Structure 1
Amino acid sequence: MRKKSKFIGNSSLIDFRNMKPSIFRLLLVASVLISFSAKAQPFDSLLNKLNTEYPQEKIYLHFDKSSYNPGETIWFKAYIFSGTLPSQISKSFYAELLDAKGNVLQRKINPVVMSSGAAAFDLPDSMDNSILYVRAYTKWMLGFDSSYLFTKAIPINIAKKTVSTKKGVQQQTYYLQFFPEGGDLINGLESRVAFKATDRYGMPIKVKGEIVDAKGSKIASFASVHDGMGYFTMTPDAGSQYKAVWKDPVGANEQTNLPAAKNSGASLLLDQTADAIKFVIHRSGGTDSSYDYMYVVAQLQQQLLYRAKANLAVAPMTSGMIPTKDLPAGIVQVTLFTKTGIPVAERIVFVNHQDYYFITDLNSALKDMGKKKKNVIQIDVPDTIPCNLSVSVTDASLNVPPADGDDITSHLLLTSDIKGFVYNPTYYFSSDEDSIAAHLDLVMMTNGWRRFKWDDLLAGRWPKVALQPEDYITVSGNIIGLTRSQMADKELNEILIFKNGAQSFMNTPLEKDGGFKIPGLIFYDTAKLYYQINNDKNKVLTSKMSVRFDNNIRRNYLNYPLDSFEVARFIKPDSLVMARNKAVADRQIAQNEFDQKNSKTLSTIKITAKKKTKLEEMDELYTTAMFRSMDEITFLTEDDPFAINGTDVLTYLKGKVAGLQITGTGAQATMSWRGGTPDLFMNEMQVQVDAIQTINMSDVAMIKVFRPPFFGATGGGGSGAIAVYTKKGKALTDNVKGLDFISIPGYSPRREFYSPDYLTNLEIADQPDFRTTLYWNPFVLTGKDRRRIYLTFFNNDFTKKFRVVVEGVNADGKVTRIEKVFE
C-alpha cells in the first residue's frame, strides 16, 4: 500500500477569501509568501514579466444578425479585453471582410472607446459568395499567435446552384483522438484518458468502443457522453501497446492507437470541488532525483495564484487543494514541475462560480406589430457600475441563431483562450447544472492552454512584438532643411481641419534632430494638417524647411490564410430561413430598381418633416454619437451675451453646472468634480487645459458638460468631461491662409444606423420598408443615474416577431447577454 506523503512547509498561495472580485482582477497576486531554492525557476517573476511586458488582448464582435442578404449592411460592435478586464492597451482596431479564399474585400479602421468600437460593412446588391468572413484584431495582437485573432463566418442568403459530379460523393473520414490527463501515459500509474471523436472538419460524432492490448484482451470500454467526448481510466503496463477498436457513424470498423506510455515520470490528476481544485501527484518507479521534490504552479490569465513544493522523496504519492472560492471565472492552468524546473505534466480546469455576468432585464414598454408602428423596449441594469452595451432588434423569423453559436460570454471566457475548435460553446454557459460542468471539463481535458508555453518562458523565449500599441492616430515626421541650432527650443504650430469643417490647434515641441510626434488624434476619412514654425516672423524658417510626414495606421492587409477547417465547418442557415430572406431581398432589389427608374419623379416630391431644434441641428453639425444623447448639459453660445463677453471657456462655465468647481483663470484654472479633474475635449479631441483656455469665446459654437462618468474619455471619465466645439466657416480659412498643409488619412468614415421615424416624417410612411434589422445601437451606456434605458424603433411592413439581443460589459469586466423574442 502506498503511503501518502505531506507537503513540506513552503507551499504558497494567495488568500482571496476576503478580497473583492474586482480587487482580485487588478491585484491577483499581492504578495509571495515563500522562496524557492536557488535551483528552482522563479515562476512568479516569469509570469510577472509576461503579464507586465506582454499582456495579451482578445476581441469579440457582436453582430446585428446571424446571416445577411445581398445589399444589406453588416453592423458590428467590438469588445476588447485583456485578461479579465476591458483592455486599456490598444486605441485602434481593424476589421476585414474576406471571401472564402481569404481575399480581403473591405477593411475598416476604427478608434477604441471604452475598450470597444463599432463599424459596418456594406454588401453589394449582387453577390456570388454564399459565405464571407470577418476578421478583427488590434495591431498589438499581431505580435502574438495569429490564432488569437477573431474570425467569424458570415452566411450570405443566396441560392447556389448544385453542380453534379460523376466522381460521386467524397468518402467521409472520422478521427478519434486521445488525451491522457496531464499529457502522458506513465507505465504503472493509473490515468484518466479523455477522447474526442470528430469528422474530418472537427465536427463531433458519437462513438463507442473498447481499448485492447496487443493480444486483443479488453482493457477498458468507452462511449462518448457529450459531443463526441468522454473519458476512461487505465493503467498501462511496461512493454504493452494499446489501441481502440470502434465503429464510425456509418458502421465501418476503425482502429486507433493510443499514445505510447513513458517508462517513468509523474502524473497529475485534478478534480474540482465547490471551492477548490484537488490535485493528486503520482511518481512512478525509475525516476531520478529531480522528482524527489516537485512544484505545483497554477495561473489564471498570466497571474500566479498558487504554487507549492511537494515532497515525493519518501512516498510516491501526494495531494493538495488549490483554493478557488474567490477566483473570477476562467481557465486555470495547473502545471507540475520537477525540482529543476522542468514541466512534466499539465492540465487546465474551468473555474466557474457563476460570477462572470451581470443581469440585464429586457422588456417591451410599447409593442405594436402593425405596419410601421412604434415600439419601445426597456433595458434595466441592477448596478450603478458603468455598463457598455450593444442592442440589436431584428425580424425573428429571418434572423435565426445558428446551432453552434459563440457569444460574448463563451468567446471571452472559453474559445479565445484554448487551442482547438469547440462546438457550440454557448452550451457550457447555459446553466449551472452539474452535467454541463462535467461536459465543460471534458472540453478542458481535450484542449490545451494556448496563451503561452512554460517551456518558452523558462528558456527565455519571449514573444517578438514588433508593433507597439497605438495611441489612436499618431502623426510623426521630420523637418529637413534646418540646422540643429535653428530648431533648438522651437515648436511646430499645427491646425488640423477635419472633413466636417471642425478644427483643432496644437503646438508640438521639436526634437533636436527635427523629429516630432502628434499622438492621440481621432478623426475620420481625411483631414488637412496646416503647419509652420512657432513665432516664425515672416515665415523665415518655415519657408526654408520641408517636412516628411507619416502616421501609425497600418496600411497593409494581413496575409494570414483562413483556417481551411473553419471554412469547411461552415453550417448553412436553415433552407426555409434562407428562402424567406431571399424573398425579402428580391423585393428590396426590385424596389431599388423602381426607385432609380423613377428618380426624376420622386425628386419633385416635397418632403417636409418636423422642424429640428437648434440643439438638434448643432448636434448633427458638430458631434458624433459618443458626444450626444448622454447625460450632458449643453450651452449654445451664439445668442448668449455671457458667452459673447466671456474671457475664456472655464470662466464662462463658473457657477453654471452643479457640482463642477472651477477656480483660477486662464491657463492656471483648475477644475474639480467628484474628487477628480474632468477630461477636456476640443472638437472631440482630448486636450489639456491650456488648449481650451486659449480659445477666444467668440470662436466657440457650443460647450457640452458631461456629468460623471463620461465613457468617451480614457479611463472611463470618472470625473465627467467638458467638450468645446469651435465655429466653422470663414474663420477657418482666415487661420490657415498662406500655410503649407498635408492631407492625412484617418479612421474609416463613420456609418450611423438609419432608423425611420414614421410619426414625425409622414411623407415616407407610404414608401416600402423591407428592413430586416429594425434597430441597431452599438453604444447604449448606463451608469449610476442611467440604470433604465428606453429605446424606440419602428416596425417595417411585414415583421410579426422581434428578436432583441443585448450584449455588453461593465467596468469590472463582467459580461451580460440577454435574448428575447417579442410577438
Structure 2
Amino acid sequence: MKNIFGVLLLSMVQPILAQTKLEKAITNLEDNYEQEKVYVLTDKSQYAAGDKVWFKSFVFDGYNRSTLSTTLFVELYNADKKLIDWKTILLTNGEGSGDFQLKEDLPEQVYYVRAYTPYMTNFNEDFQIVKTIPIYNPNSPESLVISKSSDWSAKAFPEGGTFINGVPTKFAVRLSSNTYLPENWTGKVIDTQNPNTSITTFKSFDKNVASFTITPVLGKKYQVIIQDNTGKSKTTDLPQVADSGLHLEATSSKEGIKYSLKGVNLKQQLQNYKIIGTINNHLAYKANISQLINEASSLIPTKISNGANGILQLAIFDDQDNLVAKRLCFIKPNNLKIEKAEIIGQEIKQTPRSFNSIDLSPDSYFKNYTVLVSEDDGTQNPEEENLLSSLWLTGDFTTKIDRPAQYFSKNANSEALDALLISENWKRFDWNSVLSGATPTITTRSQQFLSYKLKPIKNNAQLINTTVNLVLKLGKSEPVFEQFKTDQNGYIYLNNLNYNDPLEVSVFTNSENNKESGTDNVFVTVEPLVTPNQFKGNFPGTKYTLVKANTSKALPPTISRAINTQKNNKKIEDNDIQIEQVKLVGKKKDPKEDLNKQLSTGMFSSVNSTIFDFVNEDQHAAGSSNILDWLQGRAAGLSFQRNNSGINVPYIRGQQAKLYLDEIPTDASMISNLPIGNIAMVKIIKGAGLIGDAVAIYTMRGNMKSKNDEKETKKNNSSIVKGYDKPSEFLVEMLDDDVKIENDTRETLYWNPNLFDSDNVPPRIKFFNNDTAKQYKVLIISFDEDDHLLYDQEIFK
C-alpha cells in the first residue's frame, strides 16, 4: 500500500503539476515518516499469580507486516511502573513470540505489557502498545474489583472540522473516561437562548459515540446535553458558528469514498484548492480544483488501497497551501478483506480429556499460522481488542476506545465507526509541521538483529588499535576463534547477531614474553548497542480498583480454575522427577565410559588410552593457564616441549603427538587459547591404528557442566552475551490419570504461535479436552507472502 498514487478528476478537477510547498511537504512525508505499530495477542485476558503468560507479537508498518525491525522489546510492569520482567523477541517477517512466567508471590493488581521496537522510540511514546492485564492472587491483602463509579466527559466534533452558517453539518459526540463508560446514553441539542426546546435528539451507537446533524445560524450559540443510563448529565458547547469557510462531507461505500466540498463566502471560491488523501503517511490521492466554483464532489475508488481496508486521511488545502478541512474515512467498512481458514478435516469431541484435531489445507497460500484454542463457556463475552482493531484502528490513535474490536465484528455498525473517525485526529504527523519542512529526529536506526560492543582492558588500560583473540561459544555449538582489532576508542563490535542461546565471549591478548598467559590482568565488558527504553508516560486507566480483601476472598471462576491448573502441573512435575529418580537408581554404568561413548567415534577408540573426565570428575585445573600446561606429568609417556611461541607441544614416546579438537586436526596455539571450562574430556591415545599417537580434546555439549566450574570463579576475560529470549514450548498432552488429577481445569487447551505447513503435510491443530468443555473457541491468524490477512475465529462443538 506504499507509494500509491491516484488522480480522480471531475470536469473542473485537474492534476497538480507544479512543484509547490505542498508537493515538497508530500515528498517530506513519504521520505521521513515511516512508522511502526504493534499488536500483542495473549492466550488469556486475566491471570493468576504463578501462571505463564503466552504472547504473540505482530509488528506492522502501516497495514503490512514490518520489515524495518528484527527486534522487539516486550516488558511487564506493575501499577507503580516498576519493571517486573522483560523479553527481547526475535522478529521474523514482523512476527515474534514469547512468554512471561509470573511469580507466585505477585501482588494482586493490574499489570501492564508494553511492546515496542527500537525504531519506535524515535516517535511519540503514546503510540507504543500498553496492554492491561489483571493478575489475581488469593494470598494478596488486596482484591481487584470493578469500579462502581464512572467519571466521564463529552465533546462534540463537526465533520471536517468546520461549522459554517447555513450549512447542514454532521457532528460526532464522543465520551471519554479513565475508568469505564456508561452502557448507553442519549442527548439533545439546544440553542442557549431557548434551552427548553430541543433542536434535535440522538442516541448513542455504543459506549463511545453518537451522531447528529444540525444547520447552524450565525450568531447563535449551541450546546449538547448528554445523559447516561444512571441519570448523570453533562453539557458541552458546540464550536462558534463561522460566516465563511469550507465545508467537507465524506461517505464510505463498497465503491469507494465520495467527498463533497462547499465553499461559503470565499474570495476565490474553491479555485486552486487541493484535495490530498494519505494512507499510512503515504500519498494515495491528490487533485486540484482549477475552476472558479463554490461546490465540487468526486468518488475516490477503492483501488487507491488495492482494495484493502484501512483509514484514508482526507485533507483540503486552500490556494495558499493552508490546511482548511480534514476528515478520516474507513475504506470499505462493510466489506472487510479477511480470509478464512481452509479446514479439510476435523475430529471434535466433548468427552472429558478426549483428543481433538483440526486439519488445515496444505494447498493454501497461507503457510504459517498462529493458533489459540480455549474452552468456550457459551457466554457472550464481547472482545475488548483483537488483531483487526489494532491493525486498522487503535494502533494509529492514542485516545482510549472502549471495545474497539466491536467495529470489525460480524454485526459491526459502520455508522458508529464513521462517527468515531470524525471524533479522531491523525496524530502520526501534523500537516503544519510537515509543510514547514520539519522531520522526525531519528536517533535509533533499525538494525539487523542484535549488536554489541566489547571493551577489552589489560592492566587497567584500554587496548587501542590492538589485535586481540576472541573465543566465541554459542550454546551447544563448538567454540569459534576469531581475531579482531579494537578501534581508536578501544572497542570491538559484534554486529547482526541472531541467536537465543547464551554466547560466551572470551578475550585473549598476545603474550608479551611468549610465556605468560594471554588472560593475565585481562578484563572485558559487554554493552548492547540498543537497550530497552525507559517508560516515561502514564499507564492507561482501567475499570479496576484495589480494595482491602475480605477474610473469605472471592476470586473470579477463571482464576480459581487457573490456580487448580497450577496445582495439577506441579503434581505432574513431581511425578516426572520421581520417575527420573527411579531410572537413575536402576542405572549402574560408569559415567566416564558413557562420556567417552557420547563424545568419541570408533576411529578414536583405543584400548591403549588414558581418559580425563572433566564433566563427572573434579580435575583441579583451576590453577592452570591452559589444558596443555595442566597435562604435564599426568599421563605415562606424555611429555612437552615449548615451541618458539612459548607454547607447550605434546610428545608421546619422543615423537610429536597429533592434536585434535573434537576429532578435527588442530595445532598447539589453538588449544592453548581454549578455556579449560569449555573442555569436557581429554583422551591420550597411544599407537591407535590410523590415528597413531595423539591428544584428543573434546568440548562441552548440550547441558554439560564441568566439575571445575563449580569451584572456579568466573574469569574476568570472559562474559556472557544475552541473545534473544527463546520461547518456551507449550506442551500438548493429556493429563495422566496415574498422577491422580481429579479435575482438569485448563482454559488454554492449545497455543502455537508458529504452526507451519511442512512438505505438503496438512498443518494439524491437536489438543486434549479438559473435564468440562463442551465447545471450543478457535482463533487462527496468518499472512501470506503478499501480506493478505487470514483471521478466523470460530466456535467448534
Q: TM-score range by the shorter chain?
A: 0.7 to 0.9
> C-alpha displacement at 1:290, in angstroms?
9.5
Output the CA distance in 1 between the equivalents of 2:492 and 2:478: 23
> C-alpha displacement at 1:82, in angstroms?
0.7
Aligned amino acid, residue 775 of structure 1: Y
Counterpart in 2 of 1:396?
Answer: 376
> Does the 8 A contact of 2:346 with 2:359 survive in 1?
yes
Counterpart in 2 of 1:255?
Answer: 235
> C-alpha displacement at 1:277, in angstroms?
1.7
Counterpart in 2 of 1:439?
Answer: 416
> C-alpha displacement at 1:270, in angstroms?
1.0
* Aligned-pair identity (%): 22
Aligned amino acid, residue 185 of structure 2: V
Aligned amino acid, residue 322 of structure 2: I
Aligned amino acid, residue 174 of structure 2: K
Secondary structure of 2:763 counterpart: strand
Give matches, 1:288-327, under 5 Å: 292-311=271-290, 314-325=292-303, 326-327=306-307
> C-alpha displacement at 1:519, in angstroms?
1.2
> Does the 8 A contact of 2:75 with 2:85 survive in 1?
yes
Deviates more, 1:502-511 or 1:204-213: 502-511
| Deviation string, structure 1 residues 197-250 (Cα, Å, up to 9, x no partner) | 456645255333432223217573131251153322223232221112443323
Structure 2 counterpart of 1:729, from 700, 703, 711: 700
Structure 1 counterpart of 2:538, from 544, 561, 576: 561
Aligned amino acid, residue 755 of structure 2: V
> Does the 8 A contact of 1:277 with 1:322 survive in 2?
yes
> C-alpha displacement at 1:786, in angstroms?
4.0
Output the CA distance in 1 between the equivalents of 2:262 and 2:376: 54
Aligned amino acid, residue 374 of structure 1: F
Counterpart in 1 of 2:54?
Answer: 75
> C-alpha displacement at 1:92, in angstroms?
1.3
Counterpart in 2 of 1:46?
Answer: 28
Give matches, 1:448-487, under 5 Å: 448-477=425-454
Give matches, 1:355-504, under 5 Å: 356-362=337-343, 365-380=346-361, 383-385=364-366, 387-397=367-377, 402-431=381-410, 436-477=413-454, 493-500=469-476, 503-504=479-480
TM-score normalised by the chain length of structure 2: 0.72
> Does the 8 A contact of 1:807 with 1:815 survive in 2?
yes
> C-alpha displacement at 1:341, in angstroms?
1.6
Output the CA distance in 1 between the equivalents of 2:161 and 2:404: 23
- Pair 1:777–1:274, CA change in 2 (3 A): closer
> Does the 8 A contact of 1:60 with 1:80 survive in 2?
yes
Output the CA distance in 2 between the equivalents of 1:324 and 1:243: 37
> C-alpha displacement at 1:516, in angstroms?
3.6
| Deviation string, structure 1 residues 388-430 (Cα, Å, up to 9, x no partner) | 3221223333x97852421111211111123422222222222
> C-alpha displacement at 1:504, in angstroms?
4.7
> Is 1:189 the equivalent of 2:167?
yes
Output the CA distance in 2 between the equivalents of 1:341 and 1:171: 47
Secondary structure of 1:293 counterpart: coil
Counterpart in 2 of 1:99?
Answer: 78
- Pair 1:459–1:205, CA change in 2 (3 A): farther
Count of aligned pairs: 669
> C-alpha displacement at 1:771, in angstroms?
3.6
Counterpart in 2 of 1:216?
Answer: 194
- Pair 1:590–1:477, CA change in 2 (3 A): closer
> Does the 8 A contact of 1:531 with 1:739 survive in 2?
no
Aligned amino acid, residue 808 of structure 1: S
> C-alpha displacement at 1:812, in angstroms?
1.9
Counterpart in 2 of 1:530?
Answer: 506
Structure 2 counterpart of 1:237, from 183, 197, 217: 217
Counterpart in 2 of 1:339?
Answer: 319
TM-score normalised by the chain length of structure 1: 0.70
Counterpart in 2 of 1:58?
Answer: 37
Secondary structure of 1:36 counterpart: coil
Counterpart in 1 of 2:17?
Answer: 35
Output the CA distance in 2 between the equivalents of 1:84 and 1:536: 59
Deviates more, 1:797-806 or 1:560-569: 560-569
| Deviation string, structure 1 residues 570-599 (Cα, Å, up to 9, x no partner) | xxxxxx996433443454566678899999
> Does the 8 A contact of 1:201 with 1:568 survive in 2?
no
Secondary structure of 2:437 counterpart: coil
> Does the 8 A contact of 1:508 with 1:518 survive in 2?
no
| Deviation string, structure 1 residues 727-777 (Cα, Å, up to 9, x no partner) | 95389999xx9994332233335422233367xx89658797554323221
> Does the 8 A contact of 2:6 with 2:285 survive in 1?
no
> C-alpha displacement at 1:57, in angstroms?
1.0
Q: Unpaired segments of 5 or more residues in structure 2?
A: 9-14, 547-552, 587-597, 605-659, 666-696, 707-713
Counterpart in 2 of 1:3?
Answer: none
| Deviation string, structure 1 residues 493-534 (Cα, Å, up to 9, x no partner) | 533213445545556565566544221213336321124579
Aligned amino acid, residue 792 of structure 1: K
Secondary structure of 2:396 counterpart: coil
> Is 1:777 the equivalent of 2:752?
yes
- Pair 1:564–1:436, CA change in 2 (3 A): closer
Output the CA distance in 2 between the equivalents of 1:539 and 1:513: 28
Structure 2 counterpart of 1:90, from 69, 75, 79: 69
- Pair 1:39–1:119, CA change in 2 (3 A): closer
> Does the 8 A contact of 2:108 with 2:144 survive in 1?
no
Q: Unpaired segments of 5 or more residues in structure 1?
A: 1-24, 570-575, 610-620, 622-635, 642-694, 701-725
> Does the 8 A contact of 1:366 with 1:377 survive in 2?
yes
Secondary structure of 1:187 counterpart: coil
> Does the 8 A contact of 2:451 with 2:528 survive in 1?
yes
Output the CA distance in 1 between the equivalents of 2:786 and 2:511: 48
> Does the 8 A contact of 2:168 with 2:214 survive in 1?
yes
> Does the 8 A contact of 1:526 with 1:745 survive in 2?
yes
| Deviation string, structure 1 residues 757-802 (Cα, Å, up to 9, x no partner) | 67xx89658797554323221111238x547311333344554443
Output the CA distance in 1 between the equivalents of 2:71 and 2:423: 35
Counterpart in 2 of 1:806?
Answer: 780
Counterpart in 1 of 2:332?
Answer: 352
> Is 1:178 the equivalent of 2:156?
yes
> Does the 8 A contact of 2:70 with 2:90 survive in 1?
yes
Counterpart in 1 of 2:590?
Answer: none
Specify the structure having the higher radius of gyration (Cα).
Answer: 2
> Does the 8 A contact of 2:279 with 2:311 survive in 1?
yes
| Deviation string, structure 1 residues 56-113 (Cα, Å, up to 9, x no partner) | 1111112112222332211011111111221111121111222233332221122212
Secondary structure of 1:564 counterpart: coil
Output the CA distance in 2 between the equivalents of 1:280 and 1:471: 46
Aligned amino acid, residue 259 of structure 2: F
Counterpart in 2 of 1:143?
Answer: 122
Secondary structure of 2:161 counterpart: coil
- Pair 1:93–1:267, CA change in 2 (3 A): same
| Deviation string, structure 1 residues 230-288 (Cα, Å, up to 9, x no partner) | 32222323222111244332335543221223343212111224323222122221x45
Secondary structure of 2:288 counterpart: strand
Secondary structure of 1:416 counterpart: helix
Deviates more, 1:190-199 or 1:301-310: 190-199
- Pair 1:276–1:514, CA change in 2 (3 A): same
> Does the 8 A contact of 1:175 with 1:200 survive in 2?
no
Deviates more, 1:401-410 or 1:106-115: 401-410
Output the CA distance in 2 between the equivalents of 1:321 and 1:401: 39
Give matches, 1:362-761, under 5 Å: 362=343, 365-380=346-361, 383-385=364-366, 387-397=367-377, 402-431=381-410, 436-477=413-454, 493-500=469-476, 503-504=479-480, 511=487, 515-524=491-500, 526-532=502-508, 549-554=526-531, 557-564=534-541, 579-588=556-565, 605-606=582-583, 729=700, 740-748=717-725, 750-756=727-733
Structure 2 counterpart of 1:789, from 742, 756, 763: 763
Name the Cα RMSD after superposition.
Answer: 4.6
| Deviation string, structure 1 residues 104-142 (Cα, Å, up to 9, x no partner) | 222112221232111111123344314322221111112
Give matches, 1:271-286, under 5 Å: 271-285=251-265
